[in-house]
Amino acid sequence: MTFLRPVAMVKVGLLGLKSDRPAILSALHDLGAVQVEPIRKEALAELEAEPGGEAHRKVAEELLRFRTLKNALPPRPPAPIGFASLEELLAGAAAVRIDAEVTELKREEDRLLTERKQLVDTSELLSRHQYCTVPLEQLRAKSVLAFFGEAPAEGFAPLQREISAIAETAFSSHPEGKSVRFVVAVPTANADAVSRIAQQAGVKLAPVPDLKGRIAEELPRLAARLLEVDRRLGELRAGLADIARVNYSLVAAIEEALAIENRKFETYSRMASGHEVFAVDGWIPQRSVPALEQLLTRVAADRALLYPIPTSEEAPTLIENPRGIRRFEFFIRFYAIPKSNEFDPTWIFALAFPIFFGFMLGDWGYGLVILLVSLWMIAGFPGGGRLPHFITSLPKLIMSPPAMRTLAWTLLPGCVIAIGLGVYFNELFGFQLPYTAFAVPQRSVGKLLVIAGYIGLVMVVVGFALGALLAYYQHHPKLVLMRIGGILFAIGVAFAGLTVIHAGGINGHSPTLLAFIGVSLAGLACMFVAEGGRALLGLIEVVSHILSYTRLVGILLASVILASVIDMESWTATHNGTILGLVAGLVMLIFGQVFVLILAVFEPGIQGARLIFVEQFSKFYEGNGRPFLPFRSSRTFTTAAPSPASAPVR
């Protein structure tokens, strides 16, 4: 775990014997700590790139075969299996001879599933048009096509006239509530034109099925065939289940092992090799170098050489934070992953965002509701299947359920803060309860604005301080001076303004005021020395970013006023002495509070993130790093070959 910094990375090169390459690659894979990089040009000057060859082709072919088998068989609980070598793996794959049986069963199952869908669709179509008593074979001829359709009652007559105007047609219709079901027969030459007319009218036409008898006769036949198809499908699935009971664990293990071996062969394109040796380059966390050295010693004795590669390349980024803080990486990755030589701002976001969210929410009723909904999301949406479909499907259009659960975790501390502040401020869905348990039962806007200003000052100063440290590490002295000037100017201007506010006006002889003016002028001088005339833009940015934090109070008051107005209007409507007023007031209260609740999630969330991303991150954070992607694979059905590899890094 690191604090405010990505994990330190180093680039290393590995030189070994080709005879040891399978064992070394397996060790690198199971260690899971090395990101394999394309080999350097210097190495290619002495060595050559090498394809996987015949072994790679064989592995790829077997992988395709076993992936098909695995997908065809019903899954079973994993029972991990290990393979000591590639030869043992390929021998195990060759011994599996269930392809023909599985393919035959699966092909018949797919055919019957297609037929079943056709049977169900045809049965539903005929059930809606039982008014048609003509034998279906009479509706099908070489020169005539017949269609079933359903149109709104008010639109059927215009549709019938328009179709009849272009061709000789035969209509049979049956009113059904607010719609009309019909069958229409048209000449084959006019079928496309009729379909276009129906489509323009929003009516879907379905061809009359290729059946002979009347609908009343065909429906029982379709039902009987459907039962027969379902019976046979049950037999086929039972057969596949019997095969899976014996073979699934082995098939899944071989498929997973082949996928891992295939990935190893794919790394050959990034390596270089000679007649007896091979070379590979990669990035690795600095802390994992001793484990890799120890592993290579045990796998290849003294036949492998690991050495550092001096480079000015940008290293990949590996972020590691404690579990609670790690959940807020969701926001950082959404914004931009840090570069390896930048600060990791996850801690800052994890500490500041809940405070901003809770401050802007400031109502313990809304905070409690959002807290309970978040806990429901974390629990996996129990009982969600009984909710209306549009309520459960709309959030999934925005983000996936795992992302929603991550977001819910990040809202929990903000909800707790909102509940505490709501109790302190005596705010419950815009109502005030009759208690005076605290010294400040009502908000003081002036004090809240001062608090918001202090928060803004701290955030801006911390951003400049981190920016100055980063510039120092990266050897940019002018940028260091610019950031220090920003700190001095921000502190000087902020406290000079507070001094004027407390004094009730400007007192040119106040030593405190003069001192803070001096601090701001010193900061101004530093900024001008560093960037010249462009520093003026920096001055405006400093002031505007500090003042931008007053939106914490603005959004808080806006939500309070909106909730209070809804409560007041609802109360007025329900007390006008009529049933209609009572109903209107309750509807206004419910829908109004739901609207405010939705705003209470989005506005504090969006504006809280914006205050961090724009007003603070802009002082020190650039992002656009490349993620660390180690050479490894997850294992479910296989076990790693015995090796001294340590646990993979996250």
Neighbours of 156 (CB within 10 A): 21
pLDDT interval class at 391 (50, 70, 90): low
Query: Is it the case that residue 442 has pLDDT exceeding 70?
Result: no
In this structure, the chain runs to a length of 650
pLDDT band at 249 (very low <50, low <70, confident <90, very high): very high
What pLDDT does residue 338 have?
93
Q: State the number of CA atoms in the 13 A half-sphere of 404 facing the CB.
A: 19
The position carrying tokens 């394809």 is 51
* pLDDT for 140: 77
Which residue spans within 328-465 are E strands per DSSP? none
Q: Tell me how far apart the alpha carbons of residues 477 and 468 are, in angstroms, rounded to a whole number.
A: 9
pLDDT band for position 505 (cuts 50, 70, 90): low
pLDDT digits (tens, 9 = 90+) for 219-245: 999 999 999 999 999 999 999 999 999
Cβ contact 129:181 at 8 Å: yes
Q: Where are the alpha helices (DSSP H) in 267-362?
A: 289-300, 323-326, 329-335, 346-361
- What angle, rounded to 10 degrees, do the helices at 401-425 and 346-361 form? 50
Q: Work out the percent of the chain whose per-residue pLDDT is above 70.
A: 92
Among the ranges given (91-100, 133-142, 345-354, 389-398), the one the predictor scored with the smallest mean pLDDT: 389-398
- Residue 86 scores a pLDDT above 50: yes
pLDDT of residue 74: 94
How far apart are the C-alpha atoms of 484 and 488, rounded to whole Å? 6
Is residue 514 classed exposed, middle or buried when 0-12, 13-18 and 19+ CB atoms within 10 A define those classes? middle
Q: Report the pLDDT averaged over residues 205-217.
A: 91
Provide DSSP, 613-648: HTTTGGGT------B---S----SSEEPPS----PP
Contact 649, 34 (CB under 8 A): no
* pLDDT (average), residues 316-325: 92
Question: What's the rounded Cα separation, in Å, for the pair 289 and 649?
Answer: 12
Domains of the chain: 141-207 (3.30.70.2750), 323-619 (no CATH)
Residue 211 has a CB neighbour count (10 Å cut-off) of 18
pTM of the model: 0.77
Token pair recorded at residue 409 = 């975790």
Residue 531: pLDDT over 90? no
644 pLDDT above the threshold of 60: no
49 vs 609: CA distance, rounded Å = 47
Mean pLDDT (the chain) is 87
Q: What is the pLDDT of residues 137-164, one digit of tens each?
A: 888 777 888 999 999 988 888 888 888 8
* pLDDT higher at 387 or 110: 110
Whether pLDDT at 508 is above 70: no
